[in-house]
Structure 1
Amino acid sequence: MSLVNRNTENPWRFFNNAMNPFEFDRDLMNWNSSLGGQMWKPSVDVKETENNLIIKADLPGMTKDQIQIEVDNGQLIISGERSSEKKEDNEKFHRVERSYGSFTRSFAVPEGCTAESINAHFDNGVLELTLPKLQKSKSQKVCIQ
């Protein structure tokens, strides 16, 4: 077995991956895990309709009290922490794939959208946020009197 020091494998890895956020996230998660930290990123779908922006996040095993949602400086921030299950000393795990720990996801909010106008619904481990889009004013004719 050969050991490879990831830091010398490609010293420009993080710089090069800045252009590809998916690779950067993967390397960042590997780097964090190698330090013993836990980080996970819940899966999210973002859909746009004529009047709304809809965000659905998979947060299995969490309760609504473990999730924080805030709007700050034009960003919608979803954060929380999923605790790991208590492990007994006599248990022998053959595979552990579920991630635990804290997470943060952020998204740009439509112009004019406020925290009060966002509708949040949490059911069966799925958080659904509906953000209304600002309606652009349609052109109107002005009559001369």
Structure 2
Amino acid sequence: MPQITRPAVRARLPFAAAGVMLVVLALAGCSTTSHKPVDEYSGEPKGVEAPASSAGGAAFAVWLKDGGQFAIALYGSSSCPPKVASVSVAASNQLVATLAPAPGGMCTRDYVPHTTVFATPSGITTTSDVSIKLPDTTLTLPGLPG
């Protein structure tokens, strides 16, 4: 029996492969890069005054080093401090913060600040407000004077 070839199927394969490549490239362009902290320590951010909105232990964010860095201050137990594990750029001047998992064990019942510092990601405009989405709130870094 003679073998029947299907030229239409063979012709569609390069187009299907090209379509898959376009989808992969599009998804790669949408992927977010997680930025890790450059520093973290107990207490409020060094060298800046906490905003009035942080009275009573509300989380806040401030610019450091003329916008080259920013700090996120979260309040919680001094023995099990809340920490930001990473931030990623979600959209124009919008960051999403991922919290580090809570450590196991016993935690003290005090309520103190813990600061996590990040280098400002490229693509963030420091002269405009920047929002930082946390699991339970959104913080605003006010734009710096131009």
TM beyond 0.5: no
TM-score if structure 1 supplies the norm length?
Answer: 0.29
TM-score if structure 2 supplies the norm length?
Answer: 0.29
Q: Which has the larger radius of gyration?
A: 2
